[in-house]
Structure 1
Amino acid sequence: MQIKLLPLQTHGDERGSLIALEQDKNIPFEIKRVYYLFNTGSNVRRGFHAHKNLTQVVIAVRGSCRFLLDDGKEKITLLLDNPAQGLLIDSCIWREMYDFSEDCVLMVLANHLYDESDYLRNYDEFLNLYGK
């Protein structure tokens, strides 16, 4: 499965902490789009899609949530709860996010601009393309 947890170097002192995100350094692609999710209820599930070409890095800059990631052959779940760690999700990976903490803020960096035609929103169609 084409996912990876990326360590993000934290700089700080008694004044606080800072993490710099730099394309082609700690973010392994050219950053074309940044967005964030917040105020998501703990009983809400989001995502329910895959991308044909898009690669993303997701960072829980505050709080936590769980991810279900599926490449059509294998499913894994993981907790994203560390602002000094990014989750690299390559294309062709089905994703669902759930179990959001009340204070969760997820920031997403993407290597392409928004393009609705890049989305696979039907799980059966996703499995037909990428499943066993």
Structure 2
Amino acid sequence: MIQNLKTLTDHRGSLTVIERLPFDIKRVYFLHHINPDETRGGHAHKELRRIMVAAHGSFKVTMRSMSGYHEFNLSDPTVGLLIEPYQWLELSTFTPDAVCLVLASLEHDESDCIRDFIEFKRAL
């Protein structure tokens, strides 16, 4: 689930590389300017795979899947969270400066989304 991203650091600063993912990238998006009281996500995908990175700031990811319940506090831009299909996500506790970068294996397809938690539990 957690992926350490290759980071090169010298006197000029750090450069973090995202490469050799377990999927081809078809879509890149980022979430930003999120009210700290808001929750994002609240759905799962049937086929989509993603890598999620806290490019700036921090936020909490709550994940539910066949393997159980997991919480991740993402705050390090050198760490990515691999999200496989059939993992219900909720993102919360955003810092005011949070930027959530997401690399996705597919373009957006609403038919790939499961937005009802009861339906998600049945699909497992």
Identity of aligned residues (%): 38
Question: Counterpart of 1:68 in 2: which secondary structure?
Answer: strand
Count of residue pairs brought into register by the alignment = 124
Partner Cα separation in structure 1 for residue 100 and residue 83 of structure 2: 14
- Post-superposition offset of 1:12: 2.0
Runs of 4+ aligned residues of structure 1 deviating over 4 Å after TM superposition are: none
TM-score (norm 1): 0.91
- Give the drift of 1:72: 4.7
Match of 1:115 among 71, 86, 109: 109
1:106 paired residue among 53, 78, 100:
100
- CA-atom RMSD, angstroms? 0.9
Q: Which residue does the alignment assign to 2:40? A: 46
State how far apart, in whole Å, the 1-side matches of 2:67 and 2:84 are.
Answer: 15
Residues 20-71 of structure 1, C-alpha deviation per residue, up to 9 Å, x if partnerless? 222xx1x221000000000001110000000000000000010100011001
Note the C-alpha offset of 1:110: 0.5
- Structure number with the higher strand fraction is 2
* Unmatched segments (≥5 aa) in structure 2: none
| TM-score for both structures, normalised by structure 2 | 0.96
Question: Cα distance 1:122–1:62, how it changes in 2: closer, same or farther (>3 A)?
Answer: same
**8 Å contact kept, 1:58–1:108:** yes
Gaps of 5+ in 1: none
Structure 1 residue corresponding to 2:14, chosen from 13, 17, 21: 17
Q: Does 1:60 align with 2:57?
A: no
